[in-house]
Structure 1
Amino acid sequence: MEFIRGIEMIKEDFELPDRLVTARFNTLFTRSAHRWYIKLRQAHGQQSWTWWKTQIINQWANDAWRFKVEKAFESPKFNSDKDKAPP
C-alpha cells in the first residue's frame, strides 16, 4: 500500500520513533478511517507502528476492500434529482 510505504520511508529518513508516527493518525485519518482508528485506539491503547501497520493492512488492503473501491469508481456518479441544473 502506498500509504504504508510512505510512512516507512519517512520513518526511516527521519529516524522517527513509533510514538511520533502513530501520534499523527488522529489528524491524518478522515471519515470512516478516522472512526476505525478511534475505535481501535480506545480498545487497544497506544500501540507500535508495526501493530498499526498490521491493522491497516488487515482493514484496508484486502480483496473485499479493493473490490468495493473498484465498484465505487466504476459506478455512475450522476444523480438526476440531486445534480439537476438550476432553472
Structure 2
Amino acid sequence: MENAFESAILNSEKDRPLTWFLKQKDRLSALHPDMSDSMFNLKILRKCGGELEHAMKCRSVEPCLTEDYINVMEDIITITGISKTWTRVPMESKMVSKTSRED
C-alpha cells in the first residue's frame, strides 16, 4: 500500500483530480489511521510536485479542507493546464504554392 502511494503521481491527462486525490487519501488513511486531515492534505500536496504544488499552496489557506484542495486543484488544471505534458508536433514540410490572380 505504501509503494502504491509513493509511486502514484498525478497525471492530469489520465487521472481526474477528484478521484486521484481521494484514492491517495484512502491509501494514507489505511497506512496511518491516526493522522489528521491537514497532514493527509499536506502529504498529498507534496505528491503533486513542482509547479502544481506551488500554485496550490499560493491559492489555498492552511489549514484547508479536502474539498477546498480538490477544487483548487481542478481549477488550476483546467484553467492553466499546469500539469499537462506537452508533446512536440513535427512540422510537416508542405510547400504552399502561391497562385497569381488572373484578371
SS at match of 1:22: helix
Q: Which runs of 5+ in 1 are unaligned?
A: 78-87
Larger radius of gyration: 2
- Coordinate RMSD, CA, aligned: 3.3
How many residue pairs are counted as aligned between the two chains? 70
Match in the other structure for 2:65? 48
Decide which structure has greater helix share. Answer: 1
Rounded to whole Å, the distance in 2 between the matches of 1:33 and 1:69 is 10
Query: What is the TM-score of this pair, normalised by structure 2?
Result: 0.46
Tell me the percent identity.
Answer: 1
Q: TM-score, normalised by structure 1?
A: 0.52
Within the candidate set 40, 43, 52, 1:33 is matched to 52
Question: Any unmatched runs of 5+ in structure 2?
Answer: 1-15, 91-103
